[in-house]
Chains A and B, each alone.
Chain A
Amino acid sequence: MRILLVDDSRTMRNIMKRALESLDGVEFSEAGDGLEAINVMATTPSGFDLILVDWNMPNMDGLTFLQKMREKDKKTPAMMITTEAEKARVVAAIQAGASNYMVKPFTPETLLAKVNQTLAKCKAA
């Protein structure tokens, strides 16, 4: 399983990697903002099985990244993981193409559960 982690904080990317390293055969790619994530996707022809993306980042935020990504890719599951907790933000993210939404902080267990839920939901769709 290939997962793309998009977050400007190396600390957060590291936390996500440690929380998800138990997933079967997982491999991670990383990007520090939406623009870099678009480049990583363009240079990864095999694609990703899951994308985890932060909202507030320099250069290109997570919402814009989702909108741009969905212009070309309607299928890859993408989960927004952010401190933006308001309902209006959740709605905006889902409308932009997020498959699921999670508010920081989280424990490793809750992140793993949410990722599994997202993968199952997208597989069933």
Chain B
Amino acid sequence: MEQDIIKIIDSIWVSMLQLPVEKSERPPSTSEDKISACIQITGDWLGTVALECGVSFASQAAEAMLGLEPKAAVAADLRDTMGELANMIGGNIKALLPGDNHLSLPIVVDGHDHALNVPGSKLLYRVPLRSASHEFSVSLLQNEHMVRQFKAA
């Protein structure tokens, strides 16, 4: 699944941002404000997809997707862009999951020193990635009740 996630991100980044992606050994920097965008998958499979990055990468992504000059993106642009990227990642991951599932609308949080907590969920994968010298990560969490069901089956 981790390789599938990397392939999905690469496809989105190349198509929408014209940027290549590679696996990183480091998590996103904690020295700058960050943006987290998550989307929930509900149905036969329950879980969450989260995209986390620093504002510098979010700015670069917003400028690329909106066709803006460098430094021209405002906070609303960054949130909208991150939400749409999370939507694309979530939709493409959903297509790999078993059963009939639905996507929520994206939720975006920004600011310094925040953490995402999805109650009742277990982290399945956290994939650290790098693009245009910026670190970011994509995580896949599954509802713990479903994890127990699959283990029991």
Contact = CB atoms under 8 A, between A and B. Distances in A.
B62 interface: yes
Given A82-B91, A85-B91, A56 B103 contact: yes
Given A58-B105, A82-B91, A83-B103, A11 B15 contact: no
B119 interface: no
B75 to A, nearest CB: 13
Given A88-B100, A105-B12, A105-B16, A11 B91 contact: no
Nearest to B84: A9
A14 interface: yes
A103 to B, nearest CB: 8
A104 B95 contact: no
Given A58-B105, A88-B100, A15 B16 contact: yes
Contacts of B66: 10-11, 14-15
A15 B65 contact: yes
B92 interface: yes
Interface string B95-113: 1000010011100000000
Nearest to A8: B105
B81 A11 contact: yes
Interface of B: 11-12, 15-16, 62, 65-67, 77, 80-81, 83-84, 87-88, 90-92, 94-95, 100, 103-105
Per CB-CB distance, the 10 closest pairs between chain A and chain B, nearest first, are A83-B91, A105-B15, A85-B95, A9-B84, A105-B12, A11-B80, A11-B81, A11-B65, A105-B16, A11-B84
